[in-house]
Chains A and B, each alone.
Chain A
Amino acid sequence: MNSKLRLFFIENAVVILFILLIAVAIPVSGLPRQFLMQEILMRLGRNSFLVIALLLPIMAGMGLNFGMVLGAMAGQIGLIFIMDWGIVGIPGVLLAMIISLPISIFLGWLCGSIMNMAKGREMVTGFILAFFMNGLYMMIVLYAMGTLIPIMNPEMLLSRGYGIRNVVGLDGVRQCIDNLIPLKIGGLKIPVFSYLIIAAVSCFIVWFRKTKIGQDMRAVGQDRAVADAAGIPVERTRIMAIVISTVLAGIGQVIFLQNLGTINTTASHEQIGMFSIAALLIGGASVTRASIPNVLIGVTLFHLLFLVSPMAGKNLIGSAMLGEYFRQFVSYGVIAMALVLYEWKRMTQEHEARAELRGGAAPAKGAKGGAA
């Protein structure tokens, strides 16, 4: 019983730590409960899809997909085009998602192919690849749009005549998904349609795990060599996991930005990877294991901390900035902690397996001796 409890605490250390932190920070912040609940309901609808996009690469043993930023870039390009063409409402959002599809598929294929060349180091590869692609994205958005790629709306262009402005308003599509099915309960606005989309993608993930390709991904995630020996096309399966993740990230970014109502052309996509990964890890996921409940718990806890930490910092220390620095420290720190914990567990398991092998030899000897 005692060892079970110990194991539970070790397995859920991050979640428990965050619940304790938030339990202290909420009363200190002094923020009204109604406000916190409304914000969390809104942020669950806004961010969950992006975090769900991380699940398949984890299942395929590729760790946390920092390359999801590539999908976010594709989503943003789709949104820039629909704003230029003046497509509004739900058709605009759907069109932005469709435009993002081929870009996401290409970038996902590229990312997956590169990750296949760097097996075992997928996370750092994805991280650096996102930096590299960010440069390419900047070149497209700040130079090619308005010169090589026609942009009809001069208000979206920089004063020099080419390149997209730093901030583009999404007035035509602002919160159109969230407000599609209006529902208010106890003064709280609930983005019903966003939740339905998240439910649909969650069902897709659950169904996908049971399909042939889903089973292949799990096999590849557990042991590449065994999967390869079993005839599973390992590299193709890994690429597929990254492509699906990138496509979901592109759609997720469209959902995320329609809720915000504005694109920061050069920066909206940059922190998406880090925030989504931090949220997933805070929800109790690890580099090798993640599920839908991890997503929902993580988004709730991470964004609660997001909301309360500046005010808690201001009330405790007199500076909201310190609270914000603390939140940043925690969100990046949790990623580092999760990676260290994963590596530590892996090394411990390897050490135990070696010890077991050595220990296994001794009883065998003894057994032999006994038989003699």
Chain B
Amino acid sequence: MISRSAFQRSCVVLGLLGLSAFLFYIGKGHTLLLDTNAVTLDGKELRSAETVEVSIDGKEPESMGRAERVMVTVAGPRHRVSIEVVSGGDKKVEGRLSIPTFMDTAVVSIPAILGEAPSRSWVTPFVPPPSEEAPAEKMQQQEETPGAPAPAPAKAPAAPNP
């Protein structure tokens, strides 16, 4: 038989764990890359307007041209995006973004939102381009390994700790 005080303590601990999980969920920060590059969805190319103004959660709108990326930081999983076409029409689109909790950096496709594509294609994870070693470093590696048939393979970027 569990004692009353042990039950109360367990409830407090569980409550704190639940609160921690909730705080983690609503407080997780994300970096959003607002992207106006053209995208191809189901074989159809969607392009952004010449100039658009993008606002996240009613904050100061960012003015963006074509093929641009603007970085904004937000907290929490759900956000309201508002896009106003400044040039070539008077279109205004509003939508709701849902960012997965463990996606630190996400690319938000403005053409996909403007083109009224399905909402699952609005947000994609950001994949950093593979780091290229500077030519000088490659030459140095070759010098350090005389007689080696080929330059040493490019060093992989340091993976974050698990």
Contact = CB atoms under 8 A, between A and B. Distances in A.
Asked if chains A and B come from one complex, the reply is yes
Interface of A: 82, 85-92, 94-95, 98-99, 101, 146, 150-154, 157, 161-162, 172
Interface in B16-50: 16, 19-20, 23-24, 26-30
Most chain-A CB neighbours within 10 Å: which of B20, B23, B24, B162? Answer: B23
A87 B27 contact: yes
Contacts of B5: none
11 contacts: A86-B30, A87-B24, A87-B27, A89-B75, A91-B27, A92-B27, A94-B23, A95-B23, A152-B160, A152-B161, A154-B158
A91 B75 contact: yes
B104 interface: yes
Contacts of B162: 150
A258 to B, nearest CB: 13
Nearest to B104: A86
Contacts of B27: 82, 87-92, 95
Contacts of B28: 85-88
Given A91-B24, A91-B75, 9 more contacts: A88-B73, A89-B75, A91-B23, A95-B23, A95-B27, A98-B23, A153-B160, A161-B158, A161-B161
B36 to A, nearest CB: 26
Contacts of A86: 28-30, 104
Interface residues of B, number: 17
A247 to B, nearest CB: 13
A172 B23 contact: no
B121 to A, nearest CB: 25
Contacts of B19: 94, 98
Interface of B: 16, 19-20, 23-24, 26-30, 73, 75, 104, 158, 160-162
B18 to A, nearest CB: 11
Nearest to B21: A95
Contacts of A150: 161-162
Given A89-B75, A91-B23, A95-B20, A154 B29 contact: no
A88 B161 contact: no
A368 B6 CA distance: 62
Most chain-A CB neighbours within 10 Å: which of B16, B27, B28? Answer: B27
Contacts of B158: 154, 161
A215 B75 CA distance: 45
Q: What 7 A-B pairs come out closest when comparing CB atoms?
A: A91-B27, A91-B23, A87-B27, A88-B29, A86-B29, A95-B23, A88-B75
Nearest to A98: B20
Contacts of B20: 95, 98-99
Most chain-B CB neighbours within 10 Å: which of A91, A92, A150? Answer: A91
Nearest to A91: B27
A188 to B, nearest CB: 27
Given A95-B23, A95-B24, A87 B29 contact: yes
Nearest to B27: A91
Given A86-B28, A89-B27, A101 B161 contact: no
A287 B158 CA distance: 53
A98 B16 contact: yes
Most chain-A CB neighbours within 10 Å: which of B16, B19, B73, B160? Answer: B160
Given A87-B29, A88-B29, A88-B75, A154 B24 contact: no
Contacts of A98: 16, 19-20, 23
Nearest to A171: B73
